Structure formats: structure tokens, C-alpha cells
């Protein structure tokens, strides 16, 4: 190397120089503050880089087969050496980070004229610059590889920004790659040297695409952290493309490019780049610095993408502590220990303190110490900030956040756990040890122990510990539930302006926990928490605007707040934003966007997001229906103790969605959901008690549960409570009360409530008959996809209820209802095929639909299936089977089935004749409002079948049956009594009217009587 020309020589100055910065380096070498190397111990020099500041070589040290990098400098003047010392200080602050090139020491070479050449000795990156690495390896890089490179780069910048350091000169030639790991080099040193040496104007164009465009139009603009973010955005694009930005072979960058970039020109995303990744780098290169994310947000979002692609590996690595450490050390020891002590830890600690005083130029002796203890404390302080004991369903999310943090900092949970056990004089260490006990990290879950540790830390004034205590009291974790203590703790935290405490105090006022419900106060506290930038508070404030809690409903405002919370990485905000896109709350409906947000929330471990994602797969919202996937997601959400997920899992077992039907399991899950105060779970548990699903029927218990669900504002529970008052389930019949409850449920947007309210208007239940109103409600319910509403709308078109008769439309609606699995729709569709209503007659198809409806337990379908076996419709006649089905339908309270069972006893169909039993059944069917039962009961009174003849009673029953429409035999019987003046005054006009009505229904006897009357 002694034969190099002057342009190749690094630092060259006399040892008698008076430059204070040179003296500083000399003293640092003399006192072993960093490693000193003799240059003649290096061999095999090879130039690997150059720039305006100097050159970089690689070389072997002594007999080592591994390389170190040696950095030289041109124009070594006072300014340059000062900047080098600054660089050494920066290097010391961040040297611990795996994604930053390690500083190893200083090398000198003595010359014959007593001058010295100085070199910086650095870790060597065998992959070269990022630009070189991408060019050579891009074809073999997967998206996971690219995501990890981007993440490592962002983590390196996060380390700088956390230390208050701005790089200012990020581009793909000073980002290096070593053994496939990104290594950041040159913390703006070359830029500062170039500026001080008047080289910046000649070198600027080479890095134009990476420079904050704000600096192009404003000479006074100072590059800042957001300038680094802009550069990261460009680098993330480069990682996705392998090409330098705006690169054209043989064409250098020029001022025109700078102008175009300042006016908004950006590179085009590479096809098939994942949308989440594109969103990150396009946000980074936003023209307005204030609109760019922070480096923390960039790291969070990149980590979310990595989690989405490989969620389980991270946790697995940490839980296999010893093996993980061994796997890690095999690579790192090769990198860092291959040389003979390239940097001594004890002197490294001295250097840290020495450099802190370098501006004062005081180089007195400093006691040796190591920095690892401080590093641990920093990590502990950062980890405890991640924790939030918001509820049992968030525990896995919190656990995941801790593991991910440790993974990103090359630390195992075992290492930090051992450190915590031996360093309990730091209050945050006590808090984190509590977290480990609370979450079961490196120790079995022990929430009581966690509570005790939080109490100790809280007593020393630790604000996070006090917050955790409040959460323990509110949820009863590790201590008896005590709402009053929780409220007092959150109140004290709020007084100290702690945003999490303010948000939870709002929750207390919202729910009446430890205080009276005060929704206005809750709103004000959520607003205050949001103003402090608390993402959970922002999301909760969105809830207030969405639901009108303490303020007027403003769905647009709610949407904006959810968006803001989601942008801050809050998983609940993402989940709520998904709901907005799903339901069109404050924005347009976009099911694909909703699905993506639920997916993102779920990937980050949010149990509510996992639950909603299951709903997407169940119903085909923004994706294809996949019931097995839905079941798995509900199971995962339930495992995280999400009450909604537990409830939906119960629904899967009840209906056989993605699993086998298991009504006992369904009942148990509904019970568990109800115990967690989930209003829908409470309502579904009531349904189990009402219908005997997985348990014995207990109508009183059902009523109580529906009442509880309704009191919690659950629209489904309110609807079921209406059913109880309508049918006398667990309470006295009160149709007016039923009507009011259906109205309330409908007003809350519940499609079932709308359907039942429509039924009230159709039949005059608790209100006056209003067929037009009924039709409108059935239409509204149908528009919301309610299968019952669709079925009833079909009835409207079939019978002309509130609209014109349109049997084709009726058929289509029954088909749609049946396709949604509605048993009533299947039954009515079967009726269409049997009778040719809106379609061609197809008795086989009719039979299959009645069978399907019957299999679902529909009493009407069972009754019609009995008719098929009785009459041979689509199947062979089997009177015994018909009798059994009528019996089953009757047992379910179906008035048609009861009437047909009466016919069986009257005529001996599938059973012995028993006219007394027949009479009783006709009476029961008539009491339930069945027109056929009324007609048959009328015949009994007319003919004295198991009762005395009572023609007046018979007439009244025929009249009542005929008035219900479409019962041709009742119309014929009524006409006959008018024609003959039986019991009533003879009225030939009434007789003709009813014979005509009967004839229109196809009754040939009625047609014959009309012809005979007209012949007279």
C-alpha cells in the first residue's frame, strides 16, 4: 500500500499537528477507548467503493480469512476530522444494533517522514451495497425476503431517530448487505464532508431521487426526520423493483428530474406488489412532510405485513429459547468474533462517556463500565409501553407485541426474564415482570402474582403500573373485581394526563363502572384522550359519534376517527373501520375493503377482527364463502376469549357451519358468551331455553334472558322479547307490547324485527291492519338479506298484500329465501312447484323441497310432506307415513298439521277412526285460526259429529273460514246455507257470490250450482 498514489492515500498529517480533533483521536487511541490496528497487519487490499469523501477497501487482518472494511478520506482538514469525531459518537450510540455496520477501531500506518495515515476500520459487508445486492440476487428474492430487507432498513433508521439522529443521506449505495442482512452505513458523514468541502454541488445529482423534494424549492429547508422517511419510501420501492429510481442506461440525473419530482413525479409501483407495501412507500414519499408517517409507523406497518405472511414463526422462535439462541449465535459469532477482539466491550463503554464530553475536550480517565445494563433498561421501558390490559381478549395481542419487540431487538424472552429477576430496583422492570406473570411468558400464568408486582411498582409512583392495577380491578384479574377501585385509579391517572387512564375513565362513565353512567362525560374524556393522540381513545370517540354516546350521531365523523385510529396502528380502529366499509357507515359500502381491514386487524392478533373475518368467510363478504375457514376463525377468536367469537362458534355448532352439528356444544358456548355479558350470546342462550336446543325447554328462563339482552340494547334480544309477548312464552300474552318491541327492534335496523313488525301490520297484531305498511317492512327486511322477510315478501306478491299479485315474483322470492336456507321459503317454494304457482308443476321437486323444509324442523314443511305421502305427490302413497308426519307437525303446534291429523282420525287414514279425536283436533286447529280447521269444525256442528247439531254455529264457522279467503269448500258450504236459508234468511245473491268465489278456486260443485241457479 506504500506505493499508492496521493489520490489513494487516506489521512495524512504530522503527529505534531495542533488540531484539537486530531489530538482527541490520538488520546482516544492512547487510552484504548477503541481498538487500535497496525495497518501493516492487513493484507490483500481491494478497493470496494469510493465517493467524494474518499475510498473504501476490504482487507484481511493478520491470519484471519475474514475481511474487515477500511475507510479512507480525501482532503483531511479540520472540518473533516471534526465530522469524523461526530461520526464516531453517532456510531457509539447505535453500534449495538444488528442492522448497523459495526465500528471496529482506527488503523494507522507510520511513514518514513514521521507522518501518519489514518483509516476507520469497520465491519465488512460481503453482499456489497444494496444496489449491487439487488442487481445480483433479485431473481432469487421472494416477497418475504423483500419485506424483511425493508423492515431491517426501517429498524435501523428507527434506531437512529430514537437517538435523535437524522441520517440526511440515505440512498442505495450507503446501505449495505452482509450475509443477507441489511446494514446501514455512513450516518450522513459523507454528506457533511462533501458539504464542507464544496463537493455537494458536484455530487448532488447522483442522489436526486432520494432527496426530500422540499429542499429543491426552499434553500432554507433543513433536512429532518421526515426527509429520512422520504428516502426510505424511495428505497422501499427500489427493493421491490431492483432498479435505481428513474434510471435510464447512460442518462445521468439532472435538474429537470429534480423539478419534476418537486412537482409530484414518483416512480410507478411494480406490478403484483402487495397493496399494503405500496401504501407504505407511497405514504413515505408524500410531497408534504407532515403527511408522511413516522419511522415508528413505518416499522409497525412493515412488521404487520411480515406477521401476515409468517405469523407463527416469530412466537415459535422465542418460545424455543435455547435453540433459538444457538441458531442466532452461530451466525453472529462468525460476524463479530472472527477477528481478535476487534472491539473491547469495557473500553467501548468508556468511549461512550468519553465521546459525550468531546465538545469540552476533557479527556480525563473514566471508570470502566458496560452499556448492556442501560440497553436492557431502554428495552424494558419500551416494552411496558406496549402493554394494555384492555381485556382478556387482548392478551394474545399483547403477548405477540412483546415477542415481536424482542425478536426485532435480537433478544430472547429468557434473557430479559433473567435480567428482570436480577434488576428489581427499576420500577418498569417490576412492571414487566408483572406482565410476564400476567401473560405466561417464561413462567406459568399467575395473575395474582402479576397484580402484586403491579402494586409494588404503583406504590413507587409508576404510572403504567397504576393503569395495570385499574385494569386488574375492572376485569377481576389477579384480584377480586372492584369497580370502585378501578374508577379511582383511572381518575387519578386522568388527573395526571395519562391518555390510557383518561380513555378508561371514559369507559367507566359510559358503562357505569364505579360511578353513575354519564355518557356526556364519557364523550368528553374520550375526546381528551384522542386529543393526546391515544389511538384507543380515538377509536372510542368514533364509537360515540357512531352510536350517539354523549353527542349527536355523526357517522362521517365516526368513520374519520376510526380511520385515524387505524392509521396509528390500532387494531380496534382497523376492525371498526372495517365495519364502516361493510355497512356503509360514514362512507360507501366496500366489502373488499372491509375484508382487508378485518384481515389486517386479525393478522395483528385482534380477536374482534378475527371474529369479523370469520363472518366474511361465512357470508362471502369481500371474499368467497368458506365455512370451514369461518369456523376456524371463530374458534381462534373464541380461544382468545372474544365473546362475539364464542357466540358465533356456538352458531357454527348449532347449524353445522364448517363442523358437525352439536347442539349441546352450541348451548355451552352461548352460555359462555352470555357469562361474558355478550348481548347476542344472551339472546341466543334464551333461544336455546325456548326451543330446547342443547338443554331442557325453560320458557321462563328464555324470557328472562331475552329481557336481559333487550336491556343491553340488543336488537335481536328485543325482537325475541317481542315474540315472547306475542306468543306468551314465559310471560302473559300482550300483543301491544309485542308490537312495541318489534317496532323498537326494527328502528335499530334489525331485519328480523322489521319482518315481525310487518307481520303485525299484515295481521293486525297489536295495531291496526295496514297491508301497505306490512309490504314496505317486508321489502325493507328483504333488502337487508333477511330470509324470513324475503319469504313474507313472496307471500305479499302471491296474495296481493299491499301490492299487486305477481306469482312469478312470488316464486322468485321463495326461491331466494329457500337458497338462503329458510325453511318457510323452502315450504312455500315446494307449494309453488306442487300447484304451478309462478312456475311449471313439478311434484318431484315439490316433494324434495317439503322434505328439505321438514328436515329443518319446519312444521309447515312437515305438514306438506304428510300431504305428499297421503296423496302420492312426488312419491308413493304411504298413509301411515302421512299420519306420522301430521302428528309431528301437530306436536309442533302447526294448525294445518292439526287439521290434517283430525282428518286422519275422522277417515281412518294411517290410523283407526276416532271421530271424537277428530272433533277435538278440528276445534284446536280452528282456535289457532286455521281456515280448514274452521270449515271441518263447521261440518261437525252441521252434521252432529261428536257434538250436538248446531247449524248456527256451523254457519258462523263457514263464514269465518270463507272470510279468510281461498278456502273453496268453506265458501261452497256458506253459499249452500245462503241458498237454502238454513238458520239464516235465504239470500240468493249471497249464495251466488260465494258459489262464484268457490268456483274461482276450482270447485266444480260450486260451478254446477251456479249453472243450475242461472238455468232457473
d(Cα 865, Cα 885) in Å, to the nearest integer?
7
Asked which of 190-204, 492-506, 794-808 is least confident by mean pLDDT, the reply is 190-204
Which pLDDT band holds residue 394 (cuts at 50, 70, 90)? Answer: low
pLDDT, residue 115, reads 58
**Over 70: is that where the pLDDT of 389 sits?**
no
Domain co-membership, 148 together with 247: yes
Least confident window among 95-109, 708-722, 766-780, 986-1000: 95-109
| % of residues, the chain, pLDDT over 90 | 51
Q: Is 929 left (phi over 0), alpha (psi -120 to 50) or beta?
A: left
User: How does strand 35-38 pair with strand 103-110?
Assistant: parallel
What's the pLDDT at 733? Answer: 95
CA distance 802 to 777: 11
Of residues 8 and 802, the one with the higher pLDDT is 802
Whether residue 413 is contained in a domain is answered as: yes
DSSP state of 101: P
Q: What is the predicted pLDDT for the residue at 102?
A: 86
User: In terms of domains, do 757 and 803 share one?
Assistant: yes
The Cα 390–Cα 536 span in angstroms is 10
pLDDT exceeds cutoff 80 at 7: no
Residue 322: how many CB atoms within 10 A of its CB? 9
Global pTM reads: 0.57
Mean pLDDT of 840-855: 95
Q: Where are the alpha helices (DSSP H) in 242-371?
A: 255-262, 275-284, 295-309, 311-319, 321-336, 345-356
- Number of domain units in the chain: 5
pLDDT on residue 79: 63
Q: What is the rounded CA–CA span in Å between residue 413 and residue 314?
A: 12
Distance CA 257, CA 488 (A): 60
pLDDT tens digits for range 852-911: 999 999 999 999 999 999 999 999 999 999 999 999 999 999 999 999 999 999 999 999
pLDDT above 50: residue 190: no
Q: Is residue 951 domain-resident?
A: no
Closest CA relative to residue 1013, chosen from 108, 990, 1001: 990
Q: To 5 degrees, how large is the angle CA 499–CA 503–CA 509?
A: 145
Question: Rounded to whole angstroms, how far apart are CA atoms 485 and 216?
Answer: 57
Residue 773, domain member (yes or no):
yes
In a domain, 594, yes or no: no
Q: How many helices (H) and strands (E) does the chain have?
A: 50, 9
What mean pLDDT comes out for the span 250-260?
77
Nine cell digits for residue 577: 373501520
For residue 865, being part of any structural domain is answered with yes
Domain stops at, among 78, 107, 123: 123
| Size of the chain in residues | 1016
Question: What CATH number does the domain containing 475 carry?
Answer: 1.25.40.10
Lowest mean pLDDT among 52-66, 438-452, 608-622, 994-1008: 52-66
Which pLDDT value is given to residue 381?
85
- Give, in order, the Cα–Cα distances in Å from 880 to each of 154, 173, 862, 863, 910: 77, 88, 14, 14, 4
Q: What is the CATH number of the domain that holds 96?
A: 3.30.200.20
pLDDT of residue 598: 95
The grid coordinates listed for 813 are 322470492
Range with lowest mean pLDDT among 102-111, 171-180, 722-731: 102-111
- What integer is the mean pLDDT of 21-31? 73
Cα–Cα dist 755/795, whole Å: 12
Q: Residue 644, CB half-sphere, CA atoms under 13 Å: how many?
A: 13
Is 554 domain-assigned? no
Domain boundary among 251, 276, 309: 309
Q: How confident is the model at residue 341 (pLDDT cuts 50, 70, 90)?
A: very low
- Does residue 586 have a pLDDT over 60? yes
pLDDT band at 554; cut points 50, 70, 90: very high
pLDDT category of residue 575 using cuts at 50, 70 and 90: very high
304 lies in the same domain as 202: yes
Closest CA to 122 of 3, 34, 25, 20: 34
**Angle at CA of residue 117, ends 73 and 98, nearest 5°:** 55
Which cell numbers hold the place of 12? 495524512
CA distance 3 to 925: 115
What CATH number is associated with residue 298? 1.10.510.10
- In this prediction, residue 311 has a pLDDT band, given cuts at 50, 70 and 90, of very low
Same domain, 235 and 137: yes
Label residue 421 by pLDDT band (50, 70, 90). confident
Q: Residue 195: is its pLDDT beyond 80? A: no
Q: Is the pLDDT of residue 346 over 50?
A: no
* pLDDT (0 to 100) of residue 351: 30
Same domain, 76 and 35: yes
Instruction: Based on the fold, state whether residues 48 and 141 are members of the same structural domain.
Output: no
Contacts of residues 900-906 at CB distance under 8 Å and 24 or more positions apart, as own/partner, are 900/863, 900/866, 900/867, 900/870, 902/933, 902/936, 903/936, 904/879, 906/936, 906/945
Q: Answer yes or no: do 811 and 832 share one domain.
A: no
The pLDDT confidence band at residue 166, using thresholds 50, 70 and 90, is confident
Tell me: do 117 and 211 sit in the same domain.
Answer: no
Could you tell me the three cell numbers for 285? 414519499
Question: How far is residue 712's CA from residue 866's CA, in Å, rounded to a whole number?
Answer: 43
Say yes or no: 883 and 760 in one domain. no
pLDDT of 80 reads: 64
Once rounded to an integer, what is the mean pLDDT over residues 922-946? 91
Last residue of a domain, one of 123, 153, 187: 123
CA torsion angle 725 730 732 738 (round to 10): -10
How far out from the chain centre does Cα 146 lie? 25
Among the ranges 364-368, 866-870, 947-951, which has the highest mean pLDDT value? 866-870
Q: What is the pLDDT of residue 51?
A: 63
pLDDT at 76: 58
Cα–Cα distance between 271 and 689 in angstroms, integer? 56
State the pLDDT at residue 809: 96
First to last CA, the chain: 136
Q: What is the domain range of residue 112?
A: 6-123
Q: What is the mean pLDDT of the chain?
A: 83
Q: What is the mean pLDDT of residues 34-44?
A: 84
The C-alpha atoms of residue 928 and residue 934 are separated, in whole angstroms, by: 9
Given a cut of 50, is residue 199 above it in pLDDT?
A: no
pLDDT band at 416 (very low <50, low <70, confident <90, very high): confident
C-alpha cell, 296: 415508528
Task: Based on the fold, state whether residues 825 and 813 are members of the same structural domain.
Answer: no
Verify that 187 and 226 share a domain, yes or no.
yes
- Classify burial at 340, counting beta carbons within 10 Å of its beta carbon; exposed 0-12, middle 13-18, buried 19 or more: exposed
| Whole-number percent of the chain with pLDDT over 70 | 86
Report the alpha-carbon angle 653-659-663, nearest 5.
Answer: 25
Query: Does one domain contain both 471 and 433?
Result: yes
Model pLDDT, residue 9: 27
Among candidate residues 109, 105, 101, the one with its CA nearest the CA of residue 127: 101
Out of 99-113, 535-549, 676-690, 847-861, which region has the weakest mean confidence (pLDDT)? Answer: 99-113
* pLDDT of the residue at 370: 30
Other beta carbons within 10 Å of 664: 12
pLDDT-based confidence at 325, cuts 50/70/90? very low
Residue 468 lies in a domain: yes
Give the span between the Cα atoms of 438 and 435, in whole angstroms. Answer: 5
Better-predicted residue by pLDDT, 575 or 71:
575
Grid coordinates of 454: 403491579
The verdict on residue 782 lying in a domain is yes
Average pLDDT over residues 440-447: 88
Mean of the pLDDT values across residues 535-544? Answer: 93
Amino acid at each position: 500500500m506504500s506505493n499508492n498514489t496521493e489520490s489513494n492515500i487516506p489521512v495524512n498529517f504530522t503527529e505534531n499537528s495542533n488540531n484539537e480533533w486530531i489530538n482527541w483521536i490520538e488520546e482516544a487511541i492512547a487510552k484504548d477507548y477503541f481498538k487500535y490496528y497496525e495497518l501493516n497487519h492487513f493484507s490483500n487490499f481491494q478497493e470496494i467503493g469510493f465517493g467524494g469523501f474518499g475510498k473504501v477497501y476490504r482487507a484481511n487482518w493478520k491470519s484471519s480469512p475474514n475481511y474487515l472494511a477500511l475507510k479512507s478520506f480525501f482532503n483531511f482538514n479540520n472540518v473533516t476530522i471534526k465530522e469524523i469525531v461526530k461520526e464516531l459518537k453517532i456510531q457509539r450510540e447505535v453500534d449495538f444494533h444488528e442492522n448497523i455496520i459495526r465500528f471496529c477501531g482506527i488503523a494507522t500506518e507510520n511513514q518514513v517522514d514521521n507522518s501518519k495515515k489514518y483509516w476507520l476500520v469497520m465491519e465488512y459487508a460481503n453482499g456489497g451495497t444494496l444496489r449491487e445486492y439487488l442487481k445480483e440476487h433479485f431473481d432469487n428474492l421472494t416477497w418475504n425476503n423483500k419485506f424483511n430487507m425493508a423492515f431491517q432498513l426501517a429498524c435501523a433508521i428507527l434506531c437512529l431517530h430514537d437517538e435523535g439522529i437524522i441520517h440526511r443521506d440515505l440512498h442505495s449505495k450507503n446501505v449495505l448487505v452482509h450475509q443477507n442482512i441489511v446494514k446501514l452505513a455512513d450516518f450522513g458523514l459523507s454528506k457533511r464532508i462533501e458539504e464542507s468541502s464544496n463537493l455537494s454541488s458536484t455530487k448532488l445529482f447522483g442522489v436526486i431521487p432520494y432527496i426530500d423534494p422540499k429542499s429543491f424549492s426552499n434553500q432554507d429547508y433543513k433536512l429532518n426526520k421526515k426527509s429520512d422517511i422520504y428516502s426510505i419510501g424511495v428505497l422501499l420501492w427500489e427493493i421491490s423493483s431492483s432498479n435505481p429510481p428513474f434510471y435510464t442506461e447512460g442518462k445521468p440525473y439532472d435538474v429537470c428530474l429534480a423539478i419534476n419530482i418537486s412537482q409530484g413525479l414518483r416512480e410507478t409501483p411494480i406490478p403484483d406488489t402487495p397493496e399494503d407495501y405500496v401504501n407504505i412507500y407511497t405514504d413515505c414519499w408524500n410531497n408534504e412532510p407532515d403527511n408522511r408517517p413516522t419511522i415508528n409507523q413505518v416499522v409497525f406497518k412493515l412488521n404487520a405485513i411480515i406477521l401476515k405472511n409468517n405469523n407463527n414463526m416469530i412466537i415459535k422462535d422465542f418460545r424455543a429459547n435455547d435453540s433459538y439462541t444457538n441458531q442466532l449465535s452461530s451466525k453472529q459469532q462468525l460476524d463479530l468474533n472472527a477477528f481478535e477482539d476487534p472491539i473491547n466491550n469495557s473500553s467501548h463503554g468508556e468511549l461512550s462517556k468519553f465521546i459525550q464530553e468531546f465538545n469540552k475536550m476533557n479527556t480525563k480517565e473514566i471508570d470502566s463500565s458496560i452499556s448492556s445494563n442501560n440497553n436492557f433498561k431502554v428495552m424494558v421501558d419500551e416494552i411496558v409501553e406496549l402493554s394494555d390490559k384492555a381485556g382478556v381478549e387482548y392478551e394474545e395481542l399483547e403477548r405477540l407485541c412483546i415477542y415481536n419487540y424482542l425478536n426485532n431487538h435480537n433478544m430472547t424472552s429468557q434473557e430479559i426474564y433473567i435480567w428482570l429477576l436480577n434488576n428489581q430496583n427499576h420500577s418498569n422492570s417490576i412492571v414487566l415482570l408483572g406482565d410476564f406473570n400476567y401473560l405466561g411468558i417464561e413462567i406459568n400464568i399467575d395473575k395474582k402474582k402479576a397484580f402484586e408486582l403491579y402494586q409494588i411498582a404503583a406504590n413507587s409512583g409508576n404510572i403504567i403500573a397504576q393503569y395495570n392495577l385499574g385494569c386488574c380491578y375492572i376485569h377481576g384479574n389477579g384480584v377480586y373485581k372492584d369497580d370502585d377501585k378501578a374508577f379511582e385509579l383511572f381518575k387519578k391517572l386522568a388527573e395526571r394526563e395519562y391518555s390510557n387512564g383518561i380513555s378508561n375513565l371514559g369507559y367507566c362513565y359510559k358503562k357505569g363502572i364505579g360511578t353513575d353512567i354519564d355518557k356526556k362525560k364519557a364523550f368528553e374524556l374520550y375526546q381528551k384522550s384522542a386529543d393526546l393522540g391515544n389511538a384507543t381513545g380515538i377509536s372510542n370517540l368514533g364509537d360515540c359519534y357512531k352510536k350517539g354516546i354523549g353527542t349527536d350521531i355523526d357517522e362521517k365523523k365516526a368513520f374519520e376517527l376510526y380511520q385515524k385510529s387505524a392509521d396509528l396502528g390500532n387494531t380496534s380502529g382497523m376492525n371498526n373501520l372495517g365495519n364502516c366499509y361493510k355497512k356503509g357507515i360514514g362512507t360507501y359500502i366496500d366489502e373488499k375493503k372491509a375484508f382487508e381491514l378485518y384481515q389486517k386487524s386479525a393478522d395483528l392478533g385482534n380477536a374482534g377482527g378475527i371474529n369479523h373475518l370469520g363472518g366474511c368467510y361465512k357470508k362471502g363478504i369481500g371474499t368467497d364463502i368458506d365455512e370451514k375457514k369461518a369456523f376456524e376463525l371463530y374458534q381462534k377468536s373464541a380461544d382468545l376469549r372474544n365473546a362475539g367469537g364464542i357466540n358465533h362458534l356456538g352458531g357454527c355448532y348449532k347449524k353445522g357451519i364448517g363442523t358437525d352439528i352439536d347442539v349441546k356444544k352450541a348451548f355451552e358456548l352461548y352460555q359462555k358468551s352470555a357469562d361474558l355479558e355478550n348481548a347476542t350470546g344472551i339472546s341466543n342462550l334464551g333461544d336455546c331455553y325456548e326451543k330446547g336446543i342443547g338443554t331442557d325447554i325453560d320458557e321462563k328462563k328464555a324470557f328472562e334472558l331475552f329481557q336481559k339482552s333487550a336491556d343491553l340494547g340488543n336488537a335481536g334480544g328485543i325482537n325475541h322479547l317481542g315474540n315472547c309477548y306475542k306468543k306468551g312464552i314465559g310471560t302473559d300474552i300482550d300483543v301491544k307490547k309485542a308490537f312495541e318491541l318489534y317496532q323498537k327492534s326494527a328502528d335499530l335496523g334489525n331485519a328480523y324485527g322489521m319482518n315481525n313488525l310487518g307481520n303485525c301490520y299484515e295481521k293486525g297484531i297489536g295495531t291496526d291492519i295496514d297491508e301497505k305498511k306490512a309490504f314496505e317492512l317486508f321489502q325493507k327486511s328483504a333488502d337487508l338479506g333477511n330470509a324470513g322477510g324475503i319469504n313474507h315478501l313472496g307471500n305479499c306478491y302471491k296474495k296481493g298484500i299491499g301490492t299487486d299479485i305477481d306469482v312469478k315474483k312470488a316464486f322468485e322470492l321463495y326461491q331466494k329465501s329457500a337458497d338462503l336456507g329458510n325453511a318457510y321459503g323452502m315450504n312455500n317454494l315446494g307449494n309453488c312447484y306442487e300447484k304451478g304457482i309462478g312456475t311449471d308443476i313439478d311434484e318431484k321437486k315439490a316433494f324434495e323441497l317439503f322434505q328439505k323444509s321438514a328436515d329443518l324442523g319446519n312444521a309447515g314443511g312437515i305438514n306438506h310432506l304428510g300431504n305428499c305421502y297421503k296423496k302420492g305427490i312426488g312419491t308413493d302413497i304411504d298413509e301411515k307415513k302421512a299420519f306420522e308426519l301430521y302428528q309431528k307437525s301437530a306436536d309442533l303446534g302447526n294448525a294445518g298439521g292439526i287439521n290434517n291429523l283430525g282428518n286422519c282420525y275422522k277417515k281412518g287414514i294411517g290410523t283407526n277412526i276416532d271421530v271424537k279425536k277428530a272433533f277435538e283436533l278440528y276445534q284446536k286447529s280452528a282456535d289457532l285460526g286455521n281456515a280448514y280447521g274452521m270449515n271441518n269444525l263447521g261440518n261437525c256442528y252441521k252434521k252432529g259429529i261428536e257434538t250436538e247439531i248446531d247449524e248456527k254455529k256451523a254457519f258462523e264457522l263457514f263464514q269465518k273460514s270463507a272470510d279468510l279467503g281461498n278456502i273453496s269448500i268453506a265458501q261452497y258450504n256458506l253459499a249452500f246455507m245462503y241458498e237454502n236459508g238454513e238458520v239464516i234468511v235465504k239470500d240468493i245473491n249471497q249464495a251466488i257470490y260465494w258459489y262464484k268465489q268457490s268456483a274461482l278456486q276450482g270447485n266444480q260443485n260450486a260451478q254446477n250450482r251456479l249453472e243450475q241457479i242461472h238455468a232457473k
